[in-house]
Amino acid sequence: MSQAIAIEDLTFTYRGRDLPAIQNIRAQVEEGSFLVMMGHEGAGKSTLCSALNGLVPKFLRGRYQGRILVKGREMSHHKVSEMASLIGMVFQDFEDQLFSTNVELEVAFGPENLRIARPEIERRIQSYLSFVGLEKLRRREPATLSGGQKQRLAIGSVLAMEPEILVMDEPTTDLDPRGREEVLSVAERLREKKRTLLIVDHDPEIAAKADRIWLMSGGRIAAEGPPGEILADVPTLNSCGVKVPPLAELFSAMGWPGRPIMVGEAIALIQKYNLARRRGSKPPELSPASPRGALIMQADGLGYIYPRHHSAALRRIDLGIREGEFLALLGQNGSGKTTLAKHFNGLLKPTHGQMLLRGRPTNQYRQHELARLVGYVFQNPDHQIFSNTVYEEVAFGLRMLGEDSKKIKRRVSEALAVVGLEGYEPRVPFALTKGERQRVAVASVLAIQPQVLVLDEPTTGLDVRHQGSMMEMLKGLHERGHTVIIITHSMEVAEKYAARTVVMKDGSILLDGPTRAVFAEEDRLDAASLRPSSLLRLSNWLGTEALTLGQMVQELKAQEDSWQNEK
């Protein structure tokens, strides 16, 4: 098998930075193989991908040492556009890649650049649109497509140039579960056709299917090998800041043989070695959580239709939220979860029914009164950040509300302390990492000290380490008495942190109850195109009550002890 890619001692430092983004990379990719790159944020994965097609150093300037050979050709001798028929790149942010006015033009764009004749372009459009499953949407406007469809369109339009090697940089990070599935099945089909495929991703379930994994850390390849080896090496995964496959971690903590990635493997191992007993599964009660705090928000027959739209985004929502709850709002894109959340702080007002805050409808409140009661943190901190210093950024809301400067100063430093950014007042927000900017955004909402915090996708786009610290911070806020509502795609985050989960589908509430009870309803979740994490699916199969790894280990060990006592 010949080499598709050979990287020889590659080192690259971005212009204006001191430390190299990637160092002394020496690696090869065999033709027809499937490679997954994993690593923490800043490990150099995107830089390495960009080096493969020449964006580094032609577009992203800096000091470049070493060389990359793609099918025997040296990268640095060619322009990026010349390499397009050799290497195709799909980027994480599908919004930034699509710009044509309809689907077929988007796919035609690449071949047009390659000066391919029109009949051949026509053939390719038909062929690749059906490959990615979009053949019925040829004349649609890309803006009307779902996230998964957009990403598939991006892949199709890159495939239309028939590159020999395909590189995908975090193709599924911004997608909801169904979108992920769709993109992954395209990747599967590429695998079957023996195309050389490189994917950067965090999910061990994808990495498990690779031929080889490159584990990157601090700009170097820390480890590389087949998935069986790399994914079982829990200590190395941890030190590289990569998510450890939860089932492998479970087996490791229990001292059980094998390091399974998929639920099926785990079940097979448990049955084979008789590691645990399945309990007669009595699903936990799906009754609403026992009332504790006062009712702080209530949606009463709430309905909403976007202006100039025909179908309802929300239908007759009845939902009561009490003070001090930690709630996760789950659902596909388009299920209405963000629309509902925007009613909580009055960004949207109901077209039918009512949204009550402390008993009063939201349209009777002034906007700034709402800001004091309900804080809303948007998904992308860059949509909010505009000040020169972190201090001004965090003080912004308080200034708008007319507070005096002494109070502002105090609140700002308190808020920064809570998010773990003490002393960051004089720093420039734009110079911070994404995780830090996200915290600044949270701090700027916290400074107003609203009782309720609504966060839209607080963990999407963050690596495992930052996700952990963000969620622990939210947990701390919850313990101090705040009501926390998170909208998320991540089933694991909901499982680990939210006491109550609300699942939405097509503008209505499908499920509402304690998280463990909701996640036991796998069939109904499937109807909403959601699937519990592998750990929780195992927990369902075993009939245990556990939601997190720690709880699972405890419960299983207690089970084992009681077996011992039986003997």
Q: Please give the residue ranges that form the binding site for another protein (CB under 8 A).
A: 50, 53, 55, 58-59, 79-82, 84-85, 88-89, 91, 93, 95-97, 99-102, 104-105, 108-118, 121, 139, 141, 143, 157-158, 161, 342, 345, 347, 366-368, 371-372, 375-376, 378, 380, 382-386, 396-398, 400-401, 430, 444-445, 448
Task: Tell me which amino acid residue 418 is.
Answer: V
Tell me how far apart the alpha carbons of residues 344 and 297 are, in angstroms, rounded to a whole number.
8
For the sheet containing 352-357, what is the strand order?
A: 314-322, 295-304, 352-357, 360-361
CA geometry: angle 428, 431, 433, nearest 5 deg? 120
Quote the least distance from Cβ 114 to another protein, whole Å.
5
Q: How far is the CB of 313 from another protein (least distance, A)?
A: 13
**215/442 with CB nearer another protein:** 442
Peptide bond preceding 284 in cis form (omega within 30 of 0): no
- Compare residues 155 and 330 and give the one whose CB is closer to another protein: 155
* Shortest Cβ 428–another protein spacing (Å): 13
Distance CA 45, CA 27 (A): 13
Token digits of residue 112: 């047009």
Q: Which CB atom, from 159 or from 270, has the smaller least distance to another protein?
A: 159
Phi-psi region of 67 (alpha: psi -120 to 50; beta: other; left: phi over 0): beta
Question: In sequence order, which residues have a C-beta less than 8 Å from that of residue 431 and are 6 or more positions away?
Answer: none
- Angle 16-18-24 (CA atoms, 0-180°, nearest 5)? 115
- 423 three-state secondary structure: coil
Kindly state the smallest distance separating residue 446's Cβ from another protein, in Å.
Answer: 11
Q: Report the residue number, 351 or 551, with the smaller CB distance to another protein.
A: 351
Nearer to another protein (CB atom), residue 97 or residue 335 = 97
Residue 444 or 515 with smaller CB distance to another protein: 444
**460 in Cβ contact with 489 (< 8 Å):** yes
Contact residues for 142 (Cβ-Cβ < 8 A; gap 6+) = 98, 100, 101, 102, 103, 106, 150, 153
Q: Residue 429, preceding bond cis, omega within 30 degrees?
A: no
Taking the complex as a whole, the smallest distance from the CB of residue 144 to another protein amounts, in Å, to: 8
Q: DSSP 3-state assignment of 242?
A: coil
Least separation in angstroms between residue 347's CB and another protein is 5
Nearer to another protein, 65 or 101 (CB): 101
Report, in Å, the least distance between residue 386 CB and another protein.
3
